[in-house]
């Protein structure tokens, strides 16, 4: 069974990387790729003049969380401090009252994504640096915890991603539909304060890292890391995932999750070329918690991304790219009528690469 190309967790800049691979992971020449874009997207934008969209949507559009929504570990395997932090969070959000009662979640929101063309030496904006920004919107459906679907539109481009609980996938204008490697993981946007029940479950086995002040708030810090088995499953002969960790910052005052810091390192090694390393740090400030049906839900935030490329083939030294996103939630609802498993069926391009004998795509996946 041929494997689909992985859902890209590294940015695509100057035509490098996964954007030059077909849905089977085979390298394609540049000219056919440009012809395809010209044919399919010319009514929207001239893509070669707006290549920043590909970077923005590849990194900020529909990123996955580093780890799956794992069940809670036995109490003797979880630190008492971490357990206290999660208990404080669940009490602060009031999400316990919805356990067993919420079948699905629906949310709509707006985003503004920007690309800083000339970041400073440390990755921060330099004086006079220019930015390219666009406004967009998204809609998301979720059946907790691993069944979800999101559609995001930005500047005339649309990306979609989803999971039926068995396979996660994404559809982009430049790669079509392709599956993610490794186990099914939650959508990162849901873990940015939108789904406190999933946050509680995911961080239950986290490691307590101490205390730290972040954005002026005294916080407890919890750490999660993708294990080596998962990293290996998300790697192939040309891209090796070396690490993927995330830190959750929970306010000492009110117990709410106020900051996420996601970091991953990938080694790219194409035949006949020196390896290149991509290190991406994604930091999200989470704020504007409001009560929705008795549960505290974050309604806005800002995400900053610093992408660093380094390796022997980069003669000018490390290359740094910075992306920024401001997001806001317009509407959140629980238990929307009519939402069924049919809404989470993967595209046909993804289905045909998985044996039907393994599972029934249209059956309930509890």
pLDDT in tens, 232-278: 888 888 888 999 999 999 999 999 999 999 999 999 888 887 888 88
Q: Would residue 11 count as lying in a domain?
A: no
In a domain, 3, yes or no: no
Predicted model pTM: 0.79
Is residue 209 packed enough to be buried (19+ CB in 10 Å), middle (13-18) or exposed (0-12)?
Answer: middle
More confident position, 155 or 298 = 298
CA distances from 38 to 23, 25, 231 (A): 19, 22, 36
Provide the pLDDT confidence category of residue 150 given band limits of 50, 70 and 90.
very high
CB hemisphere CA count around 68 (13 angstroms): 19
145: preceding bond cis by omega (within 30 degrees): yes
* Cβ partners under 8 Å of residue 31, min gap 6: none
Residues in contact with 337: Cβ distance below 8 Å, sequence separation at least 6, in sequence order: none
Q: Looking at the domain assignment, is residue 10 inside a domain?
A: no
Domain presence at residue 58:
yes
Q: In the predicted model, is pLDDT for residue 178 greater than 50? A: yes
Q: Is residue 79 part of a domain?
A: yes
Chain segment 1-27, per-residue pLDDT in tens = 333 333 445 445 444 333 333 333 333
Q: Which pLDDT does position 85 carry in this prediction?
A: 95
State the total domains in the chain. Answer: 1
* Domain range for 136: 17-353
pLDDT, position 354: 57
Mean residue pLDDT of the chain comes to 78
**Please, what is the Cα angle at 184 between 354 and 221, to 5 degrees?**
165
159 is a domain residue: yes
Looking at the domain assignment, is residue 12 inside a domain? no
Domain-located, residue 343: yes
Taking Cα atoms as reference points, which of 66, 55, 9 lies closest to residue 279?
9
């Amino acid at each position: 069974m041929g494997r689909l190309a992985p859902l890209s967790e590294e940015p695509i800049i100057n035509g490098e990387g996964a954007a030059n691979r077909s849905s089977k992971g085979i390298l394609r020449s540049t000219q056919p790729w440009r012809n395809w874009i010209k044919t399919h997207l010319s009514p929207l934008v001239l893509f070669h003049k707006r290549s920043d969209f590909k970077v923005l949507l590849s990194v900020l559009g529909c990123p996955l969380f580093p780890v799956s929504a794992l069940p809670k570990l036995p109490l003797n395997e979880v630190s008492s401090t971490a357990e206290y932090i999660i208990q404080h969070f669940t009490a602060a959000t009031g999400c316990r009252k919805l356990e067993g009662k919420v079948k699905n979640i629906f949310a709509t929101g707006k985003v503004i994504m920007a690309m800083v063309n000339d970041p400073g030496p440390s990755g921060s904006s330099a004086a006079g640096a220019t930015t390219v920004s666009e406004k967009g919107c998204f809609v998301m459906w979720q059946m907790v915890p691993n069944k979800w679907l999101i559609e995001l539109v930005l500047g005339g481009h649309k990306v979609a991603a989803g999971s039926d609980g068995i396979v996660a996938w994404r559809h982009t204008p430049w790669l079509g539909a392709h599956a993610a490697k490794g186990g099914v993981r939650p959508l990162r946007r849901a873990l940015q304060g939108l789904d406190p029940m999933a946050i509680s479950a995911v961080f239950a086995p986290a490691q307590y890292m101490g205390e730290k002040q972040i954005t002026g708030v005294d916080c407890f810090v919890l750490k999660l890391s993708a294990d080596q088995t998962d990293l290996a499953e998300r790697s192939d002969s040309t891209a090796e995932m070396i690490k993927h960790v995330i830190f959750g910052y929970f306010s000492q005052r009110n117990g709410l999750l106020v900051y996420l810091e996601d970091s991953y390192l990938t080694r790219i090694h194409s035949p006949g070329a020196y390896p290149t390393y991509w290190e991406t740090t994604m930091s999200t400030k989470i704020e504007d918690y409001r009560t929705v049906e008795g549960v505290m839900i974050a309604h806005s935030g800002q995400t900053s991304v610093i992408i660093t490329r380094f390796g022997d083939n980069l003669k000018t030294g490390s290359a740094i790219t910075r992306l920024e996103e401001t997001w806001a939630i317009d509407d959140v609802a629980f238990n929307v009528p009519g939402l069924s498993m049919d809404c989470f069926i993967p595209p046909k391009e993804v289905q045909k690469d998985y044996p039907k004998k393994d599972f029934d795509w249209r059956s309930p996946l509890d």
